[in-house]
């Protein structure tokens, strides 16, 4: 079984530079994880920078950042909007918000309020927020409709909602190889599970529909794409963010007893693609949605 030099945590704390299998799960809830977690990883950077380019900025704003994580967007908005603005950072990930709190103290930032809570359950005053943002948060909401309903309730009339997401079709080059691999290893019955995994992401129209169901008016959708390049499949599967953000879902496509056989074959097939093309490249579609709470929403509901 292929292994790599990596870190893992146990009850005694982190053990560094220990040979472990790349298929082992990473404990993202461990406090030490966020101390080693990059501030703006490769995956979320293009989305976050797009959002910062489009988001309205003025002094004295009240802003909610949903899925704030370790606080890249919350801190940027706190600094860019000025100290008389209030940023409310919401995320249920304890290790991440603990790190955000430490960073706020270390940097002397006093206009960020941190709420460790599921966004759908956040209790914000009605009509109190000027701007709601989320960088890839929608990807992780268990109940997006409930989150958008909360946003509508908290938004002032004419308040803006801006959020980024990736769309159906992301990494299609990878998933084409995964389909072939499932057939090769005798797991064609899991093709439906793979399609379900691929299609759980939204389309532009399905996300627009989610926004309007909550009562917001869709204003604009900005789309783009970026490319992630790897030497081969071995490099892709061992990339730290792939291991954290994607590999658990890829493993879940097949029964646990078939994971090693399937992923080993997938790695081999990805390596063959890289050998033919000189690299392994996957494309990721990026979208930023901008919406508004109407100034006259008496008829809503």
Q: Say how far apart CA 215 and CA 196 lie, in whole Å.
A: 28
pTM of the model: 0.85
The residue that leads in pLDDT, 188 or 3, is 188
Taking only the tens place, the pLDDT of each residue in 225-270 is 999 999 999 999 999 889 988 999 999 999 999 999 999 999 999 9
- Residue 36: pLDDT band (50, 70, 90) is low
* Whether the Cβ atoms of residue 132 and residue 151 lie closer than 8 Å to each other: yes
Computed from CA positions of residues 152, 142, 135, 51, in that sequence, does the dihedral angle turn out positive or negative? negative
* Whether the Cβ atoms of residue 215 and residue 126 lie closer than 8 Å to each other: no
CA atoms within 13 A on the CB side of 84: 4
Q: Say how far apart CA 20 and CA 2 lie, in whole Å.
A: 9
Cβ count within 10 A of residue 68: 28
- Residue 70: pLDDT band (50, 70, 90) is very high
Distances in Å between the alpha carbon of 31 and those of 69, 92, 273?
A: 13, 14, 38
- Residue 40: pLDDT band (50, 70, 90) is low
CATH numbers and ranges of domains, the chain? 25-292 (3.40.50.150)
Alpha-helix residue ranges (DSSP H) falling in 8-143: 31-36, 45-54, 72-81, 94-107
For the residues 214-224, what does the mean pLDDT come to? 94
């Amino acid at each position: 079984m292929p292994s790599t030099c990596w870190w893992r945590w146990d009850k005694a704390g982190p053990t560094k530079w220990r040979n472990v299998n790349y298929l082992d799960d990473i404990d993202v809830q461990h406090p030490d994880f966020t101390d080693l977690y990059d501030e703006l990883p490769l995956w979320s950077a293009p989305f976050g920078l797009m959002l910062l380019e489009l988001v309205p900025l003025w002094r004295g704003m009240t802003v909610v950042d949903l899925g704030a994580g370790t606080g890249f967007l919350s801190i940027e908005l706190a600094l860019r909007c000025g100290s008389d603005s209030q940023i409310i950072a919401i995320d249920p990930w304890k290790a991440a918000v603990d790190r955000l709190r430490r960073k706020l103290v270390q940097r002397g930032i006093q206009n960020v309020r941190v709420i460790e809570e599921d966004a759908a359950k956040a209790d914000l005053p009605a009509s109190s927020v000027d701007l709601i943002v989320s960088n890839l948060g929608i990807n992780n909401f268990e109940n997006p409709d409930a989150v958008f309903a909360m946003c509508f309730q908290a938004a002032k009339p004419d308040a803006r909602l801006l959020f980024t997401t990736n769309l159906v079709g992301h990494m299609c080059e990878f998933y084409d190889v995964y389909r072939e691999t499932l057939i090769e290893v005798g797991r064609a019955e899991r093709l439906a599970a793979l399609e379900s995994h691929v299609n759980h992401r939204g389309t532009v129209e399905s996300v627009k529909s989610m926004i309007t169901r909550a009562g917001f008016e869709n204003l604009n959708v900005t789309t783009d794409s970026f490319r992630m390049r790897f030497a081969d499949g071995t490099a892709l599967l061992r990339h730290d963010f792939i291991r954290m953000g994607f590999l658990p879902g890829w493993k879940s496509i097949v029964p646990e007893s078939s994971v090693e056989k399937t992923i080993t074959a997938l790695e081999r097939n990805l390596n063959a693609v890289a050998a033919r093309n000189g690299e392994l490249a996957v494309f990721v579609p990026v979208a930023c949605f901008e919406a508004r709470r109407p100034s006259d929403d008496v008829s809503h509901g």
